[in-house]
Structure 1
Amino acid sequence: MPASAKQTLRVAVLADSDTRWKWGSLTANRIAPPNSDISLDGYLLRGRATPTARQLKEVGVTADSLREVTAVEFLRAMEKESYDILVLSLVGGGVQAMLHGLARAWHGRGERPVVVTGYVGVVYEKLADGLLLRHGADLVLANSRQDADRFREVYDGVGADSSAVTEVALPFLGGDAYTGEHDRNDPYTVVFAVQPSVPDNRRDRDYLLDRAIQHARFHPNREVLLKLRSKPGEHTTHIEELPYQKLVQGKDLPANFSLVYGHMGEVLDRTDLLVTISSTAALESLHRRIPTVVLTDLGIREGLGNHHFVGSGCLASWEQLDAGYKPVPDAEWVARQGVAAEGSYETAFDAARERIAKLLAGGDMPALKPYYTPETAPGYLPGILARHHLGPDGTPLPGAPAADKEPGPVRQIVRRAARGAYRHGVQRVAPVIRRMGEL
């Protein structure tokens, strides 16, 4: 093949939510070796957080094919299809189940895809648990220098091979750098980027909502936007039992306060100050040099995730923002977080690209070998695999939901109704039962 000719690589992404589809599909495009194009097939793992058409459109990534599957259906597809790269963009338990299922499906095969996994954003909880559930992939991507160091320390500390850890950056960073210069027809815009699961109670969520509304009243010359992740009935990576669009009902809202959906990058295009509790939106904002605040109103606590930003220079309260406080991020902290605000973003994926290119050119691939096995974790692993209808050796269990063809119209209607009933139970019934139990 001439040096200038491009090769097309077949890439598959398995994701279980809208945010993980975003991370997985964008990562697939970022890590393709130089001088190659990709043909992208998307697989959406059926579950409570399977993204809707609106959520997929908001991500803005197109695939050559996209279909919803069960775990067993996906494994059967991997037995039949031939891919160069497979990105597992799932929760840790899902990654571990697929690694064992794929090890069984590819048993005795030298030709298999390069398997890649990682995290969709900031890793601030369950570090050891999540990492060991991802062990066994050919590349475990770390979104920053700090994460890469921590990941290797965990793997080395339990005697697991840490060579798969590969430093990259978040794949969805981008956009023009903030200069402070705006169209004079646009007001100064404050964006409060909320999270589905943090905080997790009505009192704290009401408090944050009221403070954002109060900020709009204190600064009538500013526009305050409440950036929402999903619409009622939709799920993202985390369950949102108390969506802000319901909490806001009945409140007296000033004219300069509004709710917005949409692609985060497009919202940041008009942002002068990004406010959040603890979100990857903060890293997107810092990458673009937009003034960014991580709130301390509810304390700096591991449960909120804002402890990750200790040392960032971004911690502040609504009280301080009302008084005109402007954050100044710590340059050294930012550099360790993979934000690449200094301009190194385009080279952040070079190590992953080079590693994948070597694996693709190296002939037969070794068998997948996760750290967890029936020998190392006999009381833990079987339960994780069983959630995906797999036995301890990765074999599909009898009666596992799978189909070799697309379900008919009636079955699709039943599936949608069942999922809707499940979401209603999670969002409406379960919170009521919990509150009654607290009486």
Structure 2
Amino acid sequence: MPASTANPPRIAVLADSDTRWKWGALTATRIAPSMEAGSGNGAHVAPVLDGFLLRGRATPTPRQLAEVGVHADSLSEVTAPEFLRVMQRTPYDVLVLALVGGGVQAVLHGLKRIWEGRTERPVVVTGYVGVVYEKLADGLLLRHGADLVLANSRQDAERFRAVYEGVGADATSVTEVALPFLGGAPYTGGHDPRTVVFAAQPSVPDNRRDRTYLLDRLVRHARLHPEREVLLKLRSKPGEHTTHIEELPYQKLVQKLDPPPNFRLAYGNMGEVLDRTDLMVTVSSTAALESLHRRIPTVVLTDLGVREALGNHHFVGSGCLASWDQLDAGHRPAPDEEWVARQGVAAGGPEAGSYATAFDAARQRIVRLLGSPGGLPPLTPYYTPATAPGYLPGILARHHLGPDGSPLPGAPAADREPGPVRQIVRRAARGAYRHGVQRVAPVIRRMGEL
């Protein structure tokens, strides 16, 4: 076990999109069991990180992976049955499931089956990549069964425990941490030129009218302030997918406008963009929390209403809600310090030193579990064929697993590496799917409305 050897802890991360890979890999490095090098000099041994990308519509491209900037000792693309085969034969200390809820549930049941009768197994960790503003009960119960369900803030930890206890499920897995990608130098003043950044989201808002409105207001702001640099920060390029399907990419919508020279599109790591940001504007992106952590002036827009469907209701009480009219007139909101602290955002606030120790509880819990006498108990998800017979089988089937967690007939084999032709066909099929979502589907939808 890691606690008793000088070998580096070995961690596996299974992710299904670029954003979840970023969350999972960074979380893995922060919660890795702390070990001393054998030399006795007190140096820590870095973990070995093996990355696995779950094959699907949102599998990240090489460009997206490079943009995340997280190094893995190995990285491969797998299906759920293929991943289970790897976990059956390869020893790990910690497994981080950075997946959508249904994916977590399917893998948990698959792991439960392959580890049946085993006491030595990895500690299984899961959680959320950002703000949890929708499907709280559904998403949490699909994640139940992991040894640790990470909550990114004190507020989330309280909500998570309340859901689990409310259905009679064990809530001891809920562990408070923070978002693993917060950081960077605190904001100290204006840049030259002053830079306004709008952090776009793939699925919020989800219709052409609202997205065109936001883009138009951003362009108008650039025209009103020619001395400023106005950036539209985008998560992906056309043809790429992230956590959510984006049918109406802003790159396509902006082609119909005539933006001024001080307006431009921006890609790349959010932290690097924030290095030169003087005002962060968004509807409900997690980028708002990254910005608040660095004490950059941050605005959550109210132009389209404060609504659950937009996710900006999460920021009620933050002091950050404002409209484009207010921003154009020079308004700068002041964040509520108590609200900010409850979100796990601590830089410069009343809990300024807390972020450095935010992952200590998770790390200590992992060490205790790995050192448990008699090993770890079997995984026990809340959903079973007895508690959710009309729901669970469909979730498992989407990942080629049967009701008992075993691979369905015809599931991809883990021991057969796809040949060059199969890899080319797979890439072409994925590209065709993405083209259909972003090009063909909107046209068909408009034709249906005639």
The 8 Å contact of residues 106 and 401 in structure 2, kept in 1 or not, is answered as yes
SS at match of 1:373: coil
- Calculate the aligned-residue CA RMSD, in Å: 1.4
Query: Aligned-pair distance for 1:33?
Result: 2.4
Query: Aligned-pair distance for 1:255?
Result: 1.1
What one-letter code is carried by the residue in structure 1 that aligns with 2:247?
A: E
SS at match of 1:436: helix
Asked whether 1:280 is paired with 2:286, we answer yes
Match of 2:311 in 1: 305
Query: Aligned-pair distance for 1:250?
Result: 3.3
Distance in 2 separating the partners of 1:27 and 1:33 = 12
What one-letter code is carried by the residue in structure 1 that aligns with 2:422?
A: R
Match of 2:323 in 1: 317
The 8 Å contact of residues 9 and 33 in structure 2, kept in 1 or not, is answered as no
Query: Aligned-pair distance for 1:340?
Result: 1.8
- Out of 231, 234, 254, the residue aligned to residue 228 of structure 1 is 234
Q: TM-score, normalised by structure 1?
A: 0.97
Match of 2:251 in 1: 245
- Out of 392, 395, 403, the residue aligned to residue 403 of structure 2 is 392
Distance in 1 separating the partners of 2:404 and 2:440 = 37
Match of 2:65 in 1: 56
The 8 Å contact of residues 195 and 229 in structure 1, kept in 2 or not, is answered as yes
1:137-170, Cα deviation, whole Å (9 max, x unpaired): 0000000000000000000000000000000000
The 8 Å contact of residues 7 and 37 in structure 1, kept in 2 or not, is answered as no
The 8 Å contact of residues 81 and 407 in structure 2, kept in 1 or not, is answered as yes
Distance in 2 separating the partners of 1:9 and 1:406 = 27
Match of 2:40 in 1: none
Distance in 1 separating the partners of 2:359 and 2:276 = 28
What one-letter code is carried by the residue in structure 2 that aligns with 1:259?
A: L
SS at match of 1:37: coil
Query: Aligned-pair distance for 1:361?
Result: 1.3
Runs of at least 5 residues in structure 2 that lack an aligned partner in the other structure: 36-44
Query: Aligned-pair distance for 1:438?
Result: 2.1
The 8 Å contact of residues 96 and 125 in structure 2, kept in 1 or not, is answered as yes
What one-letter code is carried by the residue in structure 1 that aligns with 2:242?
A: T
Distance in 2 separating the partners of 1:136 and 1:170 = 21
The 8 Å contact of residues 6 and 37 in structure 1, kept in 2 or not, is answered as no
- Out of 75, 95, 101, the residue aligned to residue 92 of structure 1 is 101
Distance in 2 separating the partners of 1:425 and 1:300 = 32
Distance in 2 separating the partners of 1:5 and 1:377 = 42
What one-letter code is carried by the residue in structure 2 that aligns with 1:45?
A: L
Query: Aligned-pair distance for 1:434?
Result: 1.8
Distance in 2 separating the partners of 1:234 and 1:114 = 32
1:335-388, Cα deviation, whole Å (9 max, x unpaired): 000112223211000100110010111141100000000000000000000000
What one-letter code is carried by the residue in structure 2 that aligns with 1:272?
A: D
Q: TM-score, normalised by structure 2?
A: 0.95
Match of 1:347 in 2: 357
The 8 Å contact of residues 178 and 288 in structure 1, kept in 2 or not, is answered as yes
Runs of at least 5 residues in structure 1 that lack an aligned partner in the other structure: none
Query: Aligned-pair distance for 1:5?
Result: 8.6
Number of aligned residue pairs: give it. 435
Asked whether 1:334 is paired with 2:334, we answer no
- Out of 334, 357, 367, the residue aligned to residue 367 of structure 2 is 357
Query: Aligned-pair distance for 1:196?
Result: 0.4
Asked whether 1:200 is paired with 2:209, we answer no
Match of 2:179 in 1: 170
Query: Aligned-pair distance for 1:293?
Result: 0.2
- Out of 244, 267, 272, the residue aligned to residue 261 of structure 1 is 267
Distance in 2 separating the partners of 1:237 and 1:408 = 28
Query: Aligned-pair distance for 1:181?
Result: 4.8
SS at match of 2:164: helix
Identity across the alignment (%): 82
Deviating above 6 A after TM superposition, structure 1's stretches of 4 or more consecutive aligned residues are none
What one-letter code is carried by the residue in structure 1 that aligns with 2:17?
A: S
Match of 2:42 in 1: none
Match of 1:8 in 2: 8
Distance in 2 separating the partners of 1:181 and 1:208 = 24
1:8-38, Cα deviation, whole Å (9 max, x unpaired): 1010000000000000000000111223420
Q: More deviation in 424-433 or 130-139?
A: 424-433
The 8 Å contact of residues 83 and 414 in structure 2, kept in 1 or not, is answered as no
